[in-house]
Amino acid sequence: MEPTRIPTLYEWMGGLEAIERLMTRFYERVPADPLLGPVFAHMDPAHASHVSAFVAEVMGGPTRYSRELGGHAHMIRKHLARGLTEPQRRRWLNLLLDCADELALKDDPEFRSAFIAYLEWGTRLAVINSQPGAQVIEDLPMPTWGWGEVKGPYTGQS
């Protein structure tokens, strides 16, 4: 008897279509938000698509962000010197989760736990990288998030 293959978070949540729906809805709501609107006032029209590609890759999907859009170092550069605050971070997270609920993104406890853990980790990293003196490590690989863990140099695991 072969063991059952565990799907990636990307597969479980519905692939790129589900991620793009979520990010599109989220970034549609951002401009009207008093805390987030100013942060994204000059948002590139392709922003939701780029963030979708990043999240898809982190969750175990296609590696388009690394291949075509600059990888993890590029994402970090997008946050440099922005001075993001803890209230902005929390609002970003809460608004994204509101959109996930609105769109009926998978809500089983195992998936939501892993998804929220990644969002907590990623948003805290964004705040850290937005502060004065933050620097980009150019060869840092993309994080790969799974069912309850991050893999790679971020935790000392491979």
Tell me, what CATH number does 121's domain have? 1.10.490.10
**Domain boundaries, position 104:** 9-151
Residue 155, pLDDT > 60, answer no
Number of separate domains in the chain? 1
Q: How far apart are CA 53 and CA 37, in angstroms?
A: 22
Residue 14, domain member (yes or no): yes
Residue pLDDT, tens place only, 97-133: 999 999 999 999 999 999 999 999 999 999 999 999 9
Residue 25, pLDDT > 50, answer yes
Least confident of 2-6, 13-17, 27-31, 127-131: 2-6
Identify how many contiguous H helices and E strands the chain contains and give both numbers: 7, 2
Q: What are the two backbone dihedrals, phi and then psi, of residue 122, each rounded to the nearest 5 degrees?
A: -65, -40
User: Considering the chain, what is the average pLDDT of its residues?
Assistant: 91
**Three-point CA angle 53, 81, 156, nearest 5°:** 60
Residue 3, domain member (yes or no): no
pTM exceeds 0.75: yes
Residue pLDDT, tens place only, 84-96: 999 999 999 999 9
pLDDT category of residue 156 using cuts at 50, 70 and 90? very low
Given a contact cutoff of 8 angstroms between Cβ atoms, the answer to whether 114 and 121 are in contact is: no
Residue 1, domain member (yes or no): no
Residue 4, domain member (yes or no): no
The reported pLDDT for the residue numbered 4 is 84
The reported pLDDT for the residue numbered 157 is 41
